[in-house]
Amino acid sequence: MVEFIDIGDVSAAEIDRLRGVYGPLAESVRQLIDATIRTEVDADTVAAIREQIDGATAALRSRQIDGPFGVRFTTGGERLPWGNPVIGLRNPIAPPLTIEHGDDGTVYADFELGAAYEGPPGHVHGGISALILDHILGEVAANSINPRFTGTITLRYLRPTRLGRLHAEAMTTRSEGIKSYATGYLADDEGVTVEAEGVFIEPKWARG
Amino acid sequence: MVEFIDIGDVSAAEIDRLRGVYGPLAESVRQLIDATIRTEVDADTVAAIREQIDGATAALRSRQIDGPFGVRFTTGGERLPWGNPVIGLRNPIAPPLTIEHGDDGTVYADFELGAAYEGPPGHVHGGISALILDHILGEVAANSINPRFTGTITLRYLRPTRLGRLHAEAMTTRSEGIKSYATGYLADDEGVTVEAEGVFIEPKWARG
């Protein structure tokens, strides 16, 4: 049902080249998203800019894959989750987070959220905090090996999270067969704002 | 701390005009996001397209507000959450959802999610389901009057949610002073995929 795509024996150099082509494109689109929300240019200017954007879209679509990006992996075992809305190098919706692994088994990320992620004025949408925590708890639960899907997750909001520089962190508290229990938090410059805990389950098709 | 912006006595006709200018711009950028994830055009073409996109961004930024969009309201009481990442007319990250109100007090939305929201191949990222459910439960808890912020939310994932046409729905189960309890679900074409329940709290500054 959920199929990963084997792209074969692609060299690390070729992966790096692709990263260098499509990463900056997504970054340009991230800037455009921010400008689209914040612009105050007039109707005629907007109409002219829309034509440029539609032209860019048509050019990109002149050669494109059918359907979504999927999660690709190489024969060497490198995973390329480039379409992911949290960490995806090629997904302009993703901030994107760079997942770091601490010596103590924690997983964490430092990142910035701006206008595109706003719920209450000046603050992060509660659901965006949930998106990020679901992802980072899932990363630590998967432990870099098999994917684990969220079974249950609970989020406790201590106070609103300011837009700007943020830190998210997660750790596994317990593993029992196909289940991993993880906990984590989101923090802004004044400390923890949202706490999360969840159960993550190894999907049937991934079990040895 | 959380400030809503009073934009004064703006007529319904002027709001409609603004909607007609900036809504289609965001829609064009949504198409560009999808194309950015799925394109296979070569490096030279990507470089040329990036220049076009950066040009469009610079033109939009020639007149823009400082900081994020905020949540604006008119003297007439109309709320304009146009920067919101779930329902925002001006936010290309938002699908966007159109919130409908049922006669029985439920709140629901029918919408489509494509490549930009993918987690497991062909399926919705669990955190995106959380984003949408957090928003729709918050909408029903707020009951069209005062905003309510998420206190706690729990999500149970029954199975992966397919990308494509989806339905989300929520209802309030109980209200006690500043707290509202809400429940809801997300469904794909084969039925319910994620269940949610949460407590939503009226922030101090919004209390009579």
What the block records as the tokens of B167 is 């339905």
pLDDT at B203: 81
Which residues in chain B have Cβ-Cβ distances shorter than 8 Å to A197?
none
> Same structural domain for residues B107 and B202?
yes
CA distance B102 to chain A (A): 23
B104 CA: distance to closest CA in chain A (Å): 25
Q: Is residue A96 within 8 Å of A135, Cβ to Cβ?
A: no
The answer to whether position A61 is within a domain reads: yes
CA B198, CA B123: separation in Å to the nearest integer? Answer: 24
**Residues A144 and A54 reside in one and the same domain:** no
Range of the domain at B45: 1-94
Identify whether A92 is part of a domain. no
What's the pLDDT score for residue A144? 59
Q: What pLDDT does residue B144 have?
A: 59
Beta strand A107-113 with A100-101 is antiparallel
| Residues A118 and A171 grouped into a single domain | yes
Together in a domain, A8 and A72:
yes
Q: Of B94, B114, B135, which residue constitutes the final position of a domain? A: B94
Q: Is the pLDDT of residue A110 over 90?
A: yes
Taking the mean position of all CA atoms in its chain, how far away is CA B27?
14
* Helix or strand run (H / E) with residue B59: helix B43-61
Of B61, B94, B127, which residue constitutes the final position of a domain?
Answer: B94
Taking the C-alpha atoms of A21, A26, A29 and A31 in order, what is their torsion angle to the nearest 10 degrees?
A: -100
- pLDDT by residue for chain B (208 residues), tens digit each? 567 777 878 888 999 999 999 999 999 999 999 999 999 999 999 999 999 999 999 999 999 999 999 888 888 777 889 999 999 999 999 999 999 999 999 999 999 999 999 999 999 999 999 999 999 999 999 865 677 889 999 999 999 999 999 999 999 999 888 899 999 999 999 999 999 999 999 887 777 5
Helix (H) or strand (E) holding B196: strand B191-201
Quickly state the pLDDT bin for A93 (edges 50, 70, 90): very high
| Minimum-distance CB partner of A21 among B43, B90, B135 | B43
A108 and A199 together in one domain: yes
Predicted complex ipTM: 0.95
CB contact under 8 A, A65 and B40: yes
Contact B196, B133 (CB under 8 A): yes
Tokens for A116? Answer: 């595109």
Residue A90 lies in a domain: no
pLDDT at residue number A37: 98
Q: Do both B130 and B59 map to the same domain?
A: no
Structurally, chain B folds into a number of domains equal to 2
Which of B26, B166, B45 has the alpha carbon at shortest distance from B109? B166
Task: Say which residue, A113 or B80, is predicted with more confidence.
Answer: A113
Tell me if B1 and A160 make a contact (CB, 8 A cut-off): yes
> Scanning every residue of chain A, which has its alpha carbon at the shortest distance from the alpha carbon of B41?
A63
Q: How far are the Cα atoms of A54, A56, B208 from residue A135, in angstroms, in the given order?
A: 32, 31, 38
Q: Are residues B72 and B147 in the same domain?
A: no
Do B59 and B71 belong together in one domain? Answer: yes
Residue A206 pLDDT > 90, yes or no? no
Position B78 scores a pLDDT of: 79
Structure tokens at A77: 């075992």
The closest CB to that of B25, out of A24, A26, A46, belongs to A46
Contact of B162 with B120, CB cutoff 8 Å: no
Share of chain A above pLDDT 90, in %: 78
One domain for residues A101 and A80:
no
